[in-house]
Amino acid sequence: MNRYPISIQAFGEQAILIEWPEKVEEAILDDILQFSNHLKKKCLEPDQWELLPAYNSLTLIGRHELPDFGKMKRDLKMWYSEATKTRMPARYLWKLPVCYDTEFGIDLLEVSETLGKSVWEVIDLHTRHPYTVYGIGFLPGFMYLGGLPPELEVPRKAQPRLKVPSGSVGLAGKQTGIYPQESPGGWNIIGNCPIPIFDAGKEDPCFIKVGDQVQFYGINHKEHELHTIQAQVGIYAMEKVKLDAKR
Amino acid sequence: MLNVKKAGFFTSIQDQGRFGFRDLGVPVSGAMDTYSASIANSLLENDENAAVMELTMTGPTLEFELPTFIALSGADISPKLNQQPIPINQVHQVAAGDVLSFGKLVQGFRAYLAVKKGFGTAVLMNSRSFYAPITPHHNIKDRMELPIASCERYEPKISSLSPEAFHKEHTLEVYRGPEFDLLDDRQLEALFAGDFTISKENNRMAYQLEQTIPGHRHTMLTSATLPGTMQFTPAGKLIILMKDGQTTGGYPRILQLSNTAICILSQKKFGDTIKLHLK
């Protein structure tokens, strides 16, 4: 049973873009991930395709130019109708420590002033609920997180910083997230996560996947130091909880 | 080993790219002008995914510690072996101690240097293509040492090629991008009527065009972007993503360059002009 009308179009010579209704909804993301899993497991030749899910779309990128888009489109429609036969991939809720000290959260005081809330209220709101990972992109390991409480919406900084340290946790508009590497950026920095989200040297360079959830919790400066060292030597134990297949 | 005496403006090692990690936000990378890179590799009968050196605008100065064979293709940056000019698109034998240097940029923007059996720099996430933070460096630095293999004997089946002079081409073939239908008549006219100039903002991540077209107020959810995707900002700026470009974006993707057009654009520099032609 498919619940959505999907559109399938060629995207240049090597890719196909499949789109769902343009909404930020977990049910849509679930449907996309189930289809993506079905394609990987049952339909597409391994190593020949990259599958990139984000919000309401799934992009298939071929290693080579597409020989026959028309046939591929027909196949994809058929595969979509069978997708529910494949189970959803396992998904996790990751608990990520964040130090909200103003030494790291260089914009925290300004944010609390802009929002008319105390620093504690800002931290409480930011850590209260899990966020859903709707996409990973922009930079290796950068997560697009959905579910920010509307009370935490602040405009991005008028003047972007040339250097935002790796692990910085930021707020901008409806978004919150972690800078996986040092990079320029215009988000309001409210804390720092000592656990690297992306490590090219690891077997699985990015442990968090699209469809997973993350929830932040506050730690003090000493714990931040400790977790930084634990992560560096590879003994930090990630806290994760398996999510139900159907949320 | 190959000793880098001077690195040049922007020199890096590239193969065909890092396929398979875009869902983690990792760009595909790889040679910008795949056509020229494959000419250089073909002359040496290398594996098609053998890593080559990508040279930008000014070449490096390189000293060979081992005997090998080399070939250059793409941009003509007046290569010299031990101070003697050598032609591009041809196999050259080098001896231990030989020095390869470059002079004036005559044509194009990116040249490819292949060595017999390819460069042996580290494979990270299935590729040798430089891209920080996957590889430790974005580009080659002065005094780096790059692993190459020794080869004293090689009889090429073809010792020189005259590749299509398509780098002089200034028309880029494009397809409709996913948000092409957003464009109104005024915007279409501006997009396909005239020439565009390459802006100063051009690198392995993206090429920005100097001229703008009438803007828009469309917002969309972040979705995949590819090398060759033309993004259209609300202010009417046109940005063409390239091999190190971000894997997702939130600007409308109005056009998608053909693979050949990506190669052509990779040979353009600040001030050069291009024209768009819808396939």
How close, in Å, is residue A122 to chain B by CA atoms?
Answer: 26
Burial of A176 by CB count in 10 Å (0-12 exposed, 13-18 middle, 19+ buried)?
buried
pLDDT of A246 > 80? The answer is: no
> What is the mean predicted confidence (pLDDT) over A162-167?
92
Whether the Cβ atoms of residue A109 and residue A86 lie closer than 8 Å to each other? no
The secondary structure of residue A140, as a DSSP letter, is: T
Q: What percent of chain B has pLDDT over 70?
A: 100
> What pLDDT score was predicted for residue A202?
87
pLDDT of A247 > 60? The answer is: no
Hey, which residues does B262 pair with through a beta bridge? Answer: none
The secondary structure of residue B42, as a DSSP letter, is: H
Q: Do B229 and A59 touch (CB under 8 A)?
A: no
Amino acid at A195: I
pLDDT of A199 > 60? The answer is: yes
DSSP A15-49: EEEEE--S---HHHHHHHHHHHHHIIIIISPTTSE
Q: Residue A97 and residue A196: Cα distance in Å, rounded?
A: 11
Instruction: Report residue A39 as tokens.
Output: 């394609």
Q: How many beta carbons lie within 10 A of that of residue B56, not counting itself?
A: 22
Dmax over CA atoms of chain B, in Å, equals 62
Q: What is the pLDDT of residues A94-144, one digit of tens each?
A: 999 999 999 999 999 999 999 999 999 999 999 999 999 999 998 899 999
Q: How many beta carbons lie within 10 A of that of residue B173, not counting itself?
A: 16
Task: List where CATH 3.30.1360.40 sits in chain A.
Answer: 7-85
> What is the mean predicted confidence (pLDDT) over A214-242?
94
> What pLDDT score was predicted for residue A159?
81
* Domains annotated on chain B, with CATH: 2-146 (no CATH), 169-278 (2.40.100.10)
H/E run at residue B190: helix B185-193
The B12-14 sheet, strands edge to edge: B12-14, B52-56, B107-115, B68-76, B91-94
pLDDT band, residue B167 (cuts 50/70/90) = confident
The beta-carbon neighbor of B25 closest among A17, A50, A137 is: A137
Q: What is the pLDDT of residues B127-147, one digit of tens each?
A: 999 999 899 999 999 999 999
The beta-carbon neighbor of B22 closest among A9, A50, A65 is: A50
Q: How many beta carbons lie within 10 A of that of residue B165, not counting itself?
A: 8
Residues of chain B whose beta carbon is less than 8 angstroms from a beta carbon of chain A are: 19-26, 124-125, 133-135, 175, 177-178, 220-224, 226, 228-229, 246-249, 253, 256-259
pLDDT band, residue B59 (cuts 50/70/90) = very high
pLDDT of A245 > 80? The answer is: no
Q: Do A54 and B248 touch (CB under 8 A)?
A: yes
The beta-carbon neighbor of B133 closest among A53, A65, A140 is: A140
Buried b (16+ CB within 10 A) or exposed e, B200-218: eebebbbbbbbeebeebee
> What pLDDT score was predicted for residue A85?
82
Instruction: Report residue B142 as tokens.
Output: 């002065």
> What pLDDT score was predicted for residue B141?
97
A149 in contact with chain B, both atoms CB, cutoff 8 A = no
Task: List where CATH 2.40.100.10 sits in chain A.
Answer: 91-243
> What pLDDT score was predicted for residue A2?
60
Q: Fold for domain A91-243?
A: Cyclophilin (2.40.100)
Q: What is the pLDDT of residues B221-234, one digit of tens each?
A: 999 999 999 999 99
The secondary structure of residue B135, as a DSSP letter, is: S
> What pLDDT score was predicted for residue A244?
74
Q: Residue B238 and residue B233: Cα distance in Å, rounded?
A: 7
Contacts of A37 in chain B (CB under 8 A): none
Q: Does domain A7-85 have CATH number 3.30.1360.40?
A: yes
Q: Do A198 and B224 touch (CB under 8 A)?
A: no
ipTM confidence: 0.94
pLDDT of A90 > 90? The answer is: no
How close, in Å, is residue B175 to chain A by CA atoms?
Answer: 6
Q: Do A14 and B226 touch (CB under 8 A)?
A: yes
Q: What is the pLDDT of residues B79-125, one digit of tens each?
A: 999 999 999 999 999 999 999 999 999 999 999 999 999 999 999 99
